[in-house]
Structures are given as structure tokens and as C-alpha cells.
A and B are shown apart, each in its own frame.
Chain A
Amino acid sequence: MNDAPVQIVEQALYEVRKTIHPRAVHGWFAGWRWALVWATQIVFYGLAWLPWNGRQAVLLDIAHRKFLIFGLVFFPQDVIYLAVLLIISALSLFLFTAVAGRLWCGYACPQTVYTEIFMWVEQRIEGDRMARMKLDAAPLSARKVALKAAKHGAWAAIALWTGFTFVGYFTPIRELWDAVWTANTGPWETFWVLFYGFATYGNAGWMREQVCKYMCPYARFQSAMFDRDTLIITYDKERGEPRGKGAGKGDCVDCSICVQVCPTGIDIRDGLQYECIGCAACIDGCDRVMEKVGRPKGLIRYSTTHALEHKLTRAQMFKRAFRPRVLIYSGILWTIIAAAGVALWQRVPLKVDVIRDRAAISREVEGGLIENVYRLHIMNTREAPRRFDIDVAGLPTATLVGEAGVTLEGAEAKLVPIKVRIPAGVLAAGTHPIHFEVQARDDDNVKVSEKSVFIVR
């Protein structure tokens, strides 16, 4: 034991966030990130305006419970497709993460994409890292106010456009556009445009890496999908250390470019950290420096723990990508995609739900007949009117009373009351399975058979 008095230090468990000013970076991976920014944003901002058969191609009409996606019309009863879509997304995430770490985080996550756009605006207006740091430290001046106002103005414009586009997927965007200019938007439209816009502005402008570090659950549980053969962004310690310039030193010249370009403010040379979103900005930064100092590229590179430890060649490393975990994820993923594809391909544009009267179970009507009452909820998921014939099957003595057909407008749902009668005494008391067969008059393939029961007491 040391006899010297132990110095007691007071330490804050909360601290003011230090603003990160990432340095602009160019290179192979930055190119990929920008390609994905363009791809995702052209789809997001553009798709809402795409017309399709005289209507918006993608419109999630919650008020009328109709979800129009190109040629398909979905009703709330189709929620299984949404579930399948979410399962496919989750499995893809598992697969990509197992193979190459946080690909989603680094290239395609909206948080990354919008931060990238907002940082580009910031850099155009305020300058690169050093200029921004100087500006932040400078006392208030007309120039500072002008620059900050310009930046926030530009951010707000992008954010509002994003909020407007988002709402444009739920309410026809062309009508919304007219409503915006005549200040005629409904209360909820206004709220969501502003709310989504505010969230974009706040998250991409102010919160940035804090969303990934403190708020995003995926960022925290993804490490469970990593293994020793997962591609991660690594610093080759053996090659780089000891750092510095001169004889006897490693390849790392300790220029700190990798730290300056990092959007989450970490030093990749400390090894894999939970803050690392896998954006590969440090790879691009380091490669440029290596080029300049005449050393081989790849001091910081995509590699695996295994490859670093055993000095595997790239071919050996990539071969290890075909390991059971990856193959199982891929197998399940492709099976589900194929099944969903077939289900969508063979989807009949007609849905039927049978709603039995709950209390009036079974009744006797004139002529010694037993009668059950049903309502058929018939949904025409084609966008053209259609005539449907209704029939009952499963019990030979059953007859249908009421309209044996119904005409539905395009994408319309209707409740059709139906009575089924059976002579008394033919069937024992109890439940008897029956089927309602609804069939389009103009197409034999558009047919749905929905089961129900006939009750005798």
C-alpha cells in the first residue's frame, strides 16, 4: 500500500457534447456513400411525384384504408405483406452485418444520408473543418451571423421539403402542393410536415452522431451479429506502430487525418469501437496520406479480426465469408423473398371476409327451414369495377337467400348481407362447415373460397 494521500478527483458523468467538425473526405468509399445518397434520395423525393394510371404511384391512403403501390392495391387485411417486408428487412440487416459490419449505418441509414447532405451544405457555406472551428470560436460578428443564418436557412429548406415529401406519401402530393401554396393544409398535414421537417433538421443538423451513440438500438445490438470473420474497419497496428515520422517508425505518420474525418469523433487506431458506424471515411483519408508519403495503401482498411491475426490473404479472407452463419442467413432470406414474390405474383385481386351474426345464431323461418345470417365483406382490390357472383358450397341442401351477386367499384369494399337456408331435420344440431365462393363474372381465375360454419340448434 502506498502511504501517500490519495488524490480525490471529482468527475462528471454528464458532459456538454463537443461539436464534431469532420473534415471533408474524397475517395472510393466516399464515392459509394454519395452514390447511395443520390440513389435513396432520388427515390424518396421523386417517387411521390410519379403518376401511375391517373393516380399517384405510391400512396398510403390511411384515411380510406387503401395502400396503393404501383399496380397493387393493399387493404389493411394485407398486413401480412408488411410483416414479410419487415422480416426481409431484418434478415437483410443480419446478413449484411454478419458479412461486412455496419454497412447500413455507414452508407444507407437516413441518419447518415441526411447528415451527409447537411454537412455538405455546412461545408459549402462555412468552409471545411478548420474554417468551421475558427468560425465557432470567433466572437459574434456580422459575417458570423450571416453565415450561420444562411446555413440554418438552407437546412430548414431541405428539412421542410423532406417533411413535405414524407406527408406526400400519405396524402396526394399534388393536392398537398396546392394546399401549401394557398395555406390550406389540414391540421394533421401541417403538423406532420413540420414535425418530420423538424426531426430532419434536428437529427441531421444538431444531433448527428449522438443519434447513433445514444439513441439507436440497432447500433447497440449489432455487435451480437459480428464474429471474427466479419469485415470491419481496422487499423493495421503491426504495420503502423510505432507512430511518427523518421527512421525506425511504422507506416502511421500520426497525421491524425483519420480522426479529423471521423463523423463520430473517434480514433480508429484504438480498435473496434461501438461508436464506429463503418462509414470508411478514415480509409479514404488514410489512403490519400499513404499515397503522398509513398507507402502502400490500406493501413486502415476493411478486414477481419481473423485476417489480421493470422495474416490471411484477401482471397483467404473473402473465402471465409461463406461460413455457416452467412449461408443460413442467405438461405432463409432468399426463401422468404421467393415465397413473397410468388405470393404477390399469384395474388388474386379479391378478398372476402365472412362475418357471422354473433347473437342471432340460428333461426327457424316459415316453411320448416333453418336460417343463418352472414355478412360478406367483399373487397375488390383491382382498380376497375367488377361483378362478383356469390355461392355457398359444402352442404348440398344449403340455399342462398338474397342477392347472389354484387358489383363493386374499383378498389371498393362492401358488406353484403347473405342468408343461408337448410331444411329442418336434415342436419343434426351443431356446427357444419360451409364455404362461401365469390367469383368474378369476367375471370374464372379470380375466385375466393372463404370458410364459415352453419349452425343448427
Chain B
Amino acid sequence: MNQFTSSFWSYYISVVTIVSILACGVLLVAQSKRRVAGGTKDTTGHTWDEDLGEYNNPLPRWWMWLFWITIVFGLVYLALYPGLGNYPGLLRWTEVGQLKEETARHEQQFGPIYDRYAKMDLKELARDPGALAIGQKLFLNNCAQCHASDAGGSRGFPNLTDDDWLWGGAPETIEQTIANGRNGVMPALGPALGEQGVKDAAHYVMSLSGMAHDSIRAARGEATFKQICAACHGADGKGNPALGAPNLTDRTWLYSGAEPVIIETIASGRNNTMPAWKGLLGEARVHLLAAYVYSLSHNPK
């Protein structure tokens, strides 16, 4: 921040702060006594509405000490903590420093628990109730926003409770997906295929999973599919987990199996991102999350 401002402002703030505090002290001394003409000393001499006087009801002295204590507190605080411009304070306290300290303390407390789990095999971990309890908490805090609290997913966000996987369902693969993220791209084929071409392809896709379709369109679409779509989805339409290309022959749909939605997917494409969590959560937590996600479709019960 300093490189953007001249050091003048640091001095300016410091001087204004200290002068203000000292001025409070001066004000306190100046106002704790008053000089009045003899004879009127019972009232403060102020009159309102012609004849309403104000009695002088002195405050107890300890009340004034409270003011002095705040002044002393303010000065001590400014000496210990950063407050005066760029002056870092005697304790060298910073927000970042406090965060680091707390994180370190937290790691020290919970690190051993995570370390123990980190050494365990994912399949074994998926049967450990303690690990799953932590995994569920992590899931609710970090994953439920997209995949829903029951991990059943939502439109555009896959269901994690069935055994149907875009990128492969082996425990290690799940861990990789969480750790490094995924980026699934379906290119927009609308410009290449034209409106009718897209519709034909859509009907072929619908035929793959045995849905009601127009068989003439599907027959026309098959050629397009074999030529273009098969590159990722495979000649049989069963997908390719290496590319994240979904299996089109089952009834599981990431968006929807309705005709207009399939047409939209082919025409405009899709671009899905699963963020990488390793940097944010660390490997130990990702390990537990992977075990939890794996357990959802491999119920040990």
C-alpha cells in the first residue's frame, strides 16, 4: 500500500491523532473548573426560557478518571498496535500474522487427526464413520453450494450419489478431480451443423438411450454423430472418461433429457468447470472429501 501514497499522509494521520488525544486532555483540564462571579455560584449561569436556571451538580471525581483512563488507554494502544500512519507498533501485530498464528495453532490441534486419515486407503476410509463425519462437514461447507446438500447435484452439476461418472469413479480419480479440478468442454456445433443438422443429431442422441424420437431424423443424425461427435463420445456413444465426455446411452443427464435442452447443448456447447480444491483445502482434506464422495455411491452398509 505504501508505494501508492506519499509518506506525508502517514505523518499527517499521526499528528492529527496525537494532537486530538492531547486536545482531549487539555479540554478536560480546562473544563473541570470554572470561574464565576461570586453570588451566582449555585447555578451554572446558563438560563433558558427566560428564567430556567441550571444547578451545578458536580460529577463525582472518579467519573473524570474514566476520561483520563481512556486517554492513557488510547496512547498505550497506539504505542503497542499499528494505528499511527505507517508505524507498526511495538507488538508488531498484523491481521495476516494473527491469521497465520491461528492457522498454525489449528493445524497443530487437528493436524494429527488428518495425518492419520491421510495415510489410510480411500476405500478403507469410506468405511470409517469418523472420517465420513468430517468428510460430510467439509462437503456441506465447500461442495453443497453446487452439488446440493445431499450430493444429488443440480442442473449442470453432476449427481455424486449414483455410480455414473463423467471422469471416472475410481477412488483415486475422484480424489484427482477434487484436488485439481476439471474443465469439461462441449464445443458449439450449431454453426457447423445448421439448425436442421443439430436437430437430427439430437434425435440420434435421444435414440441412443431409447427415448421417443423421430427415426428419420435420427438416421440422418447418425452420420453426423459418427463423423463429429464420436471423436469424444465414442462410436457407440458411451462417452470417454479421459475427456469427461458423458455417456449418452444411459438416462442420466447433466442438463436435461428434454429435446430443446439437448438441441441447445449441441448448438451452443457447454463449458463446465469443477474448481481445484487442493490449494484451498490442502491434500489431507481433499483425501477425506474423496472418501466421502466415494462412499455416497459405494454404500458400505
Tell me, rounded to whole Å, the shortest Cβ–Cβ distance linking A429 to chain B: 12
Collect the chain A residues with CB atoms within 8 Å of residue B148's CB: 357, 359-360, 363, 373
**CB <8 Å contact, A17 and B62:** yes
B145 and chain A: residue at smallest CB distance: A359
**CB <8 Å contact, A362 and B155:** yes
Collect the chain B residues with CB atoms within 8 Å of residue A61's CB: none
A13 within 8 A of B: yes
Looking at A4-12, A35-43, A163-171, A276-284, the stretch in contact with chain B turns out to be A4-12
Which chain B residues numbered 204 to 240 have a C-beta less than 8 Å away from chain A? none
Collect the chain A residues with CB atoms within 8 Å of residue B33's CB: 10-13
A383 within 8 A of B: no
Collect the chain B residues with CB atoms within 8 Å of residue A362's CB: 154-155
Tell me, rounded to whole Å, the shortest Cβ–Cβ distance linking A217 to chain B: 16
**CB <8 Å contact, A13 and B60:** no
**CB <8 Å contact, A9 and B38:** yes
**CB <8 Å contact, A419 and B60:** no
Collect the chain A residues with CB atoms within 8 Å of residue B64's CB: 14
Which chain B residues numbered 105 to 148 have a C-beta less than 8 Å away from chain A? 144-148
A189 within 8 A of B: no
A274 and chain B: residue at smallest CB distance: B57
Tell me, rounded to whole Å, the shortest Cβ–Cβ distance linking B158 to chain A: 10
Collect the chain B residues with CB atoms within 8 Å of residue A122's CB: none
* A11 in contact with B41 given A214-B59, A214-B60, A419-B150 (CB within 8 Å): yes
Looking at B69-77, B86-94, B251-259, B282-290, the stretch in contact with chain A turns out to be B251-259
A424 and chain B: residue at smallest CB distance: B258
User: Which of A9, A14, A15, A363 contacts B35, CB < 8 Å?
Assistant: A9
Chain A 1-27, CB-CB to B under 8 Å as 1, else 0, gives: 000001111111111110000000000
Q: How far is the CA of A361 from the CA of B60 in the complex (A)?
A: 63
B60 and chain A: residue at smallest CB distance: A17
* A12 in contact with B152 given A17-B60, A357-B144 (CB within 8 Å): no
Which chain A residues numbered 330 to 375 have a C-beta less than 8 Å away from chain B? 357-366, 371, 373, 375
**CB <8 Å contact, B37 and A12:** no
**CB <8 Å contact, B38 and A6:** yes
Collect the chain B residues with CB atoms within 8 Å of residue A214's CB: 59-60, 63
A417 within 8 A of B: yes
A431 within 8 A of B: no
User: Which of A11, A13, A364 contacts B253, CB < 8 Å?
Assistant: A364
B281 within 8 A of A: no
Collect the chain B residues with CB atoms within 8 Å of residue A10's CB: 33-35
A375 and chain B: residue at smallest CB distance: B149
Give the interface residue-count category, chain A. 20 to 34
A210 within 8 A of B: yes
B252 and chain A: residue at smallest CB distance: A366
Chain B 20-45, CB-CB to A under 8 Å as 1, else 0, gives: 00000000000111111111010000
Q: How far is the CA of A17 from the CA of B256 in the complex (A)?
A: 80
Chain B 153-179, CB-CB to A under 8 Å as 1, else 0, gives: 111010100000000000000000000
**CB <8 Å contact, A363 and B63:** no
A358 and chain B: residue at smallest CB distance: B145
**CB <8 Å contact, A14 and B252:** no
- Chain B contributes a number of interface residues (CB within 8 A of A) equal to 37
A12 and chain B: residue at smallest CB distance: B33
Q: How far is the CA of A373 from the CA of B59 in the complex (A)?
A: 63
B251 and chain A: residue at smallest CB distance: A366
Collect the chain A residues with CB atoms within 8 Å of residue B32's CB: 12-14
Which chain B residues numbered 83 to 102 have a C-beta less than 8 Å away from chain A? none
A402 and chain B: residue at smallest CB distance: B150
Q: How far is the CA of A6 from the CA of B32 in the complex (A)?
A: 22
User: Which of B31, B38, B56, B147 contacts A8, CB < 8 Å?
Assistant: B38
**CB <8 Å contact, B58 and A13:** yes
* A8 in contact with B146 given A16-B61, A17-B61, A214-B63 (CB within 8 Å): no
**CB <8 Å contact, A360 and B154:** yes
B256 and chain A: residue at smallest CB distance: A364
Q: How far is the CA of A361 from the CA of B148 in the complex (A)?
A: 9
**CB <8 Å contact, B38 and A357:** no
**CB <8 Å contact, A14 and B59:** yes
Q: How far is the CA of A375 from the CA of B149 in the complex (A)?
A: 8
Q: How far is the CA of A381 from the CA of B174 in the complex (A)?
A: 42
**CB <8 Å contact, B60 and A363:** no
Q: How far is the CA of A424 from the CA of B257 in the complex (A)?
A: 11
Collect the chain A residues with CB atoms within 8 Å of residue B63's CB: 14, 214
Q: How far is the CA of A371 from the CA of B151 in the complex (A)?
A: 13
B146 and chain A: residue at smallest CB distance: A359
Which chain A residues numbered 295 to 353 have a C-beta less than 8 Å away from chain B? none
**CB <8 Å contact, A364 and B155:** yes
Tell me, rounded to whole Å, the shortest Cβ–Cβ distance linking B161 to chain A: 10
B28 and chain A: residue at smallest CB distance: A14
User: Which of B38, B62, B152 contacts A371, CB < 8 Å?
Assistant: B152
Collect the chain A residues with CB atoms within 8 Å of residue B257's CB: 364
Q: How far is the CA of A353 from the CA of B297 in the complex (A)?
A: 29
A275 and chain B: residue at smallest CB distance: B57
**CB <8 Å contact, A8 and B60:** no
Q: How far is the CA of A363 from the CA of B253 in the complex (A)?
A: 10
**CB <8 Å contact, A9 and B58:** no
Collect the chain A residues with CB atoms within 8 Å of residue B150's CB: 373, 417, 419
**CB <8 Å contact, A9 and B41:** yes
**CB <8 Å contact, B61 and A7:** no
Q: How far is the CA of A11 from the CA of B57 in the complex (A)?
A: 11
* A14 in contact with B58 given A7-B38, A360-B146, A360-B157 (CB within 8 Å): yes
Collect the chain B residues with CB atoms within 8 Å of residue A9's CB: 35-38, 41
**CB <8 Å contact, B37 and A6:** yes
Q: How far is the CA of A9 from the CA of B36 in the complex (A)?
A: 5
Collect the chain A residues with CB atoms within 8 Å of residue B144's CB: 357, 359-360
**CB <8 Å contact, A15 and B36:** no
Query: What are 18 A-B pairs with beta-carbon distances under 8 A?
Result: A7-B37, A8-B36, A8-B38, A9-B37, A12-B33, A14-B58, A15-B59, A15-B61, A16-B61, A214-B60, A359-B146, A359-B148, A359-B154, A360-B144, A362-B154, A363-B153, A363-B159, A365-B159
- Per CB-CB distance, the 6 closest pairs between chain A and chain B, nearest first, are A360-B148, A7-B38, A360-B154, A15-B58, A17-B60, A6-B37
Can you name 8 extra interface pairs (CB under 8 A) apart from A13-B59, A357-B144?
Answer: A9-B38, A10-B33, A12-B32, A357-B148, A357-B149, A358-B145, A359-B144, A360-B157
